Amino acid sequence: MHRALEKLYRSSLVYPPMQDVHDDPSLALRPTTAFVDLDALRRNLESLKTRVGSARILAIVKANAYGHGLVPVSRALLRFGADALGVAFLEEGIALRRAGIRAPVVVLGGIIGNQISHFLEYDLDITASSVFKLEQIEEVARSMDKRARIHLKVDTGMERIGMHWDTASPLFSAAVRSPHVEIAGVFSHLAHSDARSAEYTRLQLERFLEATSYFERESLPMPPRHLANSGAILQHPDTYFDMVRPGIALYGIYPSVEVARSVPLDPVLSLHTRVVYFKVVRAGSPVSYDGTWIPEEDTRVVTLPVGYGDGYSRGLSNRASVLIHGQHHPVVGRVTMDATMVDIGESSAYNGDEVVLLGRQGEASISCEELAELQGTIPYEVLTSLNTRVPRVYLEGGRPSRPAESTRAS
């Protein structure tokens, strides 16, 4: 696959990395590449839509779409039927708008006052997490003669942002009275939805229902409610309400080892590189920094042009394996910023041979979950750590494809 990359870059079918010289497709010829399977992304979204029925899909694309590429993945998700996009920060929302995306974009993270005018300028939905922040939103919207679309955040047990569930009524009341505010939603976040035990999720659900009963008590229309993240979509149907917020599940990863596999998911991203050097390392010769691996007998070692500067973690040193010619071979010595060494023993490998660090080669595979376990972390961190200097290639129908631009309105 890599032999065709230079032609693909030159024909603009591949999104290059995003900074400095990496912006020039003619220079983006790195053999280390993340492949993003849009067919898998489509299947995952369709499976999740089937699962949640009439609930709308707020597709979460924060953190560079979990490492898959913010703009191209967002365009693809909208084309595949997502109703809206969710990000964490204002800058992510602005990037989507500047890319020509006009679908609803909800910024789910906390805000500070000087950001509000930019939310309104770019028509982004704002999270209002306190009465004070709501008053700031109302004031700026009034001064700009605009109406701000807000989502009221209720804290039911995450203790991150939002009014506590039992003191949320003043926030709701203030929002109802604010003439320059449109309540586009009310939501909370589930802290244990992917756990085997449903006890804490049930408690959070009860708190959410109690908090939002304010609107019924006051004979007010119930705003659209959204509570379910990936874990809840998979195993808590009573949390679906009007809209759901799939994140990691969109990308083909189950949020925990405990969560119910109620929906089939296919991994979307794979990480490939190529051999750039081959040598025989003599017995007793330390490999890489600090000499943490020393062969007991002569062996063959290949060097890969990928390291922790790309998001291939230093924590994989002397732990992970890679796939060469469909066989597992161990990473040896410290993973460095730009290079990783692999012991191939008596096997053969040549400069330019394909190496899979994450994904499938022949009958063998390396999963995101496996890499996360080796690092003592979670798959979310493995994916979002992939640096922007790693080019992303988008595949559809098995062929490189630039996701169609989406400018559809809400």
pLDDT, tens digit, 9 for 90 and up, residues 264-273:
999 999 999 9
Which are the catalytic amino acids? 62, 289
pLDDT at position 401 is 81
Whole-number Å distance between alpha carbons of 340 and 342:
7
The per-residue pLDDT for range 127-150, each reduced to its tens digit, is 999 999 999 999 999 999 999 999
The whole-model pTM stands at: 0.92
Name the CATH superfamily, with its identifier, for domain 2-34+268-400: Lyase, Ornithine Decarboxylase; Chain A, domain 1 (2.40.37.10)
Q: What is the mean pLDDT of residues 318-332?
A: 98
The per-residue pLDDT for range 53-87, each reduced to its tens digit, is 999 999 999 999 999 999 999 999 999 999 999 99
Residue burial 309-339, b: 16+ Cβ < 10 Å; e: rest: ebbbbeebbeebbbbbeeeebebbbbbbeeb
Q: What is the mean pLDDT of residues 247-271?
A: 98
The per-residue pLDDT for range 386-407, each reduced to its tens digit, is 999 999 999 999 888 865 554 3
Q: What is the mean pLDDT of residues 280-295?
A: 98
The residues near 242 (Cβ < 8 Å, ≥ 6 apart) are 55, 56, 185, 224, 225, 226
Contact 246, 57 (CB under 8 A): yes
pLDDT at 29 over 80: no
Residue 146: count of CB within 10 angstroms of its CB: 15
Length of the chain as a residue count? 410
CA-nearest of 270, 345, 344, 269 to 304 is: 344
The domain spans of the chain are 2-34+268-400, 38-251
The per-residue pLDDT for range 201-236, each reduced to its tens digit, is 999 999 999 999 999 999 999 999 999 999 999 999
pLDDT at position 30 is 81
Instruction: Quickly name the fold that domain 38-251 has.
Output: TIM Barrel (3.20.20)
